[in-house]
Amino acid sequence: MIPRYTCPEMAELWTDQARFSLWVRVEVLASQAQAFLDVVPADALDDIVRAPVPDPARIAEHERERDHEVLSFLAAYCEGMPEESARWVHLGMTSYDLVDTALGHTLARSCDLLIRATTRLREVLADRAAEHWGTLCVGRTHGVHAEPTTFGHRLAGFAFAMDRSLQRLRAAREAVAVGTISGSVGTYALIDPFVETYVCGELGLGVEPAPTQVVARDRHAQLVQAVATLGGCIEQIALELRLLQRTEVREVEERRASAYQGSSAMPHKRNPTTSERLCGLSRLLRGYASMALEDVALWHERDLAHQAVERVILPDCLAVAHYQVIAAVELVSCMEVFPDRMRQALDTTGGLTLSSAVLADLLRDGVERETAYRTVQSAANRSLADGTDFVAELGKEGVAAGVTPERFLVHHDVILKRLDALRERED
């Protein structure tokens, strides 16, 4: 992913230097395990441990000759030790024992960064929901005024969406935090399973229970789908803020510095560019999800069709999602809310949003449903057409109504208690 949408701590995990450093760590751990089994001599192990991480440029030089990245890495790595010790490196292993075990560790660490950021977003949403729990606004369905609600209630829905995203991310982390060191076609024919247990244990990974030489790619698909769903939830927040920042609505606005310039031609513009950016990035994440699903099916014990795809989509999707969540934290925590504008919008239709409460009163009073509905609808249609007060129009129908927007918050405290429990949760 381009630096514009990559945070430094995530980028650091996916550099070539970080990858080759981790490969060295896997090889050292495997050699240590082999030494415990009296397979690798102690003096050779010392040389293997002391050998430096090879320079990526040197690995690239070897790869131009070998056209095989792992063999090129091993050639460059073994240059840092005596030949008699180098022959013990990678003993009994196949390429993807190294690649997939290291990848599992990198994915786990990347998930940790993403989970930490998403937890923070959930907290910010929950806190701002509590802050605006009593801020009345109009609820909209199909983009049209429906019934009264509060802005805090709306934000609470987003907070619970982040909580569900966290559950999905944690499950996906567990799925991808695995390795395998089982040799060619995963049979352990030339390597003791203890090596796998030791290496994966030291790296904090589980093991693939029935390896085929590679870690199963449905694990990675699960992660990318969880990330894409997280992106969709953030898009829902960003889209809501975009709609509320429209000039004719202006109930919410992205906070801007005094030097902000929203248009090269129109100095008055204050555009919701952060929200728009978050919506756009979600499209990338959905695209990555479909590609990850394409990688699940491999020929027999393995093929290499997945490699080129995941080299791009795994670091990219995690970088995009991490950036997106951090940007969303800033957006939500700093957004400006205009309660007066919200109340003004609620009152714009002269009480039409209270029609369901009036209908409920008539039904409780024993009026037949069709008659009650048509009576309220007739008054509503005149109010909307003529711009008159809805309650006054109800009076012409012989209906006395004294409802207020606050009536719709009778059971509001039930959701507030759930929100409070979410805010108090310790992960």
Query: Which CATH number goes with the domain that contains 249?
Result: 1.20.200.10
The answer to whether the CB of 354 falls within 8 A of the CB of 269 is no
Nearest to residue 328, comparing CAs of 238, 193, 388?
A: 238
Burial of 249 (0-12, 13-18, 19+ CB in 10 A): middle
In whole angstroms, give the CA distance from residue 405 to residue 351: 9
Q: How far is CA 115 from CA 167, 219, 318, 408, in A?
A: 9, 17, 11, 36
In whole angstroms, give the CA distance from residue 99 to residue 94: 9
- What average pLDDT score do residues 330-353 get? 94
Look at residue 350 and tell me whether its pLDDT is greater than 90.
no
In whole angstroms, give the CA distance from residue 399 to residue 44: 94
Same domain, 104 and 21: no
Task: Identify the pLDDT of residue 230.
Answer: 98
Look at residue 68 and tell me whether its pLDDT is greater than 80.
yes
- What average pLDDT score do residues 204-224 get? 96
Name the DSSP letter for residue 15: S
Look at residue 418 and tell me whether its pLDDT is greater than 80.
yes
**Please, which pLDDT band fits residue 412 given cuts at 50, 70 and 90?**
confident
Same domain, 250 and 106: yes
Name the DSSP letter for residue 409: G
Tokens of 173: 């982390």
Q: What angle do CA 67, 207, 106 make, to 5 degrees?
A: 55
User: In this structure, which amino acid lies at residue 372?
Assistant: A
pLDDT in tens, 86-124: 999 999 999 999 999 999 999 999 999 999 999 999 999
Paired strand residues for 207: 179
The answer to whether the CB of 23 falls within 8 A of the CB of 98 is yes
Same domain, 224 and 372: no
Q: Is 72 tagged catalytic?
A: no
Structural element, H or E, at residue 368: none
Whether 401 is in a domain gets the answer: yes
Same domain, 254 and 359: no
Structural element, H or E, at residue 144: strand 144-150
Tokens of 230: 């997280």
Given 21, 85, 110, 142, the catalytic residue: 142
Whether 422 is in a domain gets the answer: no
- Tell if the pTM clears 0.85, that is, is over it: yes
Look at residue 256 and tell me whether its pLDDT is greater than 90.
no
Same domain, 249 and 123: yes
Whether 238 is in a domain gets the answer: yes
Same domain, 185 and 328: yes
Domain that holds residue 373: 349-409
- For residue 207, which phi and psi values (nearest 5 degrees)? -120, 150
The count of domains in the chain is: 3
Which of residues 339, 372, 396 is at a domain's end? 339
Tokens of 197: 């247990």
Look at residue 65 and tell me whether its pLDDT is greater than 90.
yes
Given 31, 110, 263, 282, the catalytic residue: 263
pLDDT in tens, 271-280: 888 999 999 9
Same domain, 146 and 295: yes
Nearest to residue 359, comparing CAs of 371, 350, 347?
A: 371
Same domain, 131 and 22: no
Whether 231 is in a domain gets the answer: yes
Same domain, 86 and 187: no
In whole angstroms, give the CA distance from residue 183 to residue 97: 7
DSSP, collapsed to helix, strand or coil, labels residue 201 as helix
Half-sphere exposure of 77 (CA within 13 A, CB side): 27
Nearest to residue 74, comparing CAs of 34, 26, 33?
A: 26
Same domain, 169 and 36: no
In whole angstroms, give the CA distance from residue 105 to residue 206: 10
**Please, which pLDDT band fits residue 426 given cuts at 50, 70 and 90?**
confident
DSSP per-residue codes, 69-131:
HHHHHHHHHHTTS-HHHHTTTTTT--HHHHHHHHHHHHHHHHHHHHHHHHHHHHHHHHHHHHH
DSSP per-residue codes, 247-307:
TTT-SEE----TT----SS-TT----HHHHHHHHHHHHHHHHHHHHHHTS--STT--SHHH
Q: Is 105 tagged catalytic?
A: no
Residue 299's contacts (CB-CB under 8 Å, 6 or more residues apart) are 305
Whether 119 is in a domain gets the answer: yes
Look at residue 409 and tell me whether its pLDDT is greater than 90.
no
Paired strand residues for 77: none
Same domain, 247 and 331: yes
Structural element, H or E, at residue 365: none
In whole angstroms, give the CA distance from residue 232 to residue 16: 30
Tokens of 43: 């003096």
In whole angstroms, give the CA distance from residue 412 to residue 389: 27
Which of residues 91, 110, 136 is at a domain's end? 91
The answer to whether the CB of 122 falls within 8 A of the CB of 166 is yes
Same domain, 234 and 330: yes
Mean per-residue pLDDT of the chain: 94
In whole angstroms, give the CA distance from residue 99 to residue 306: 13
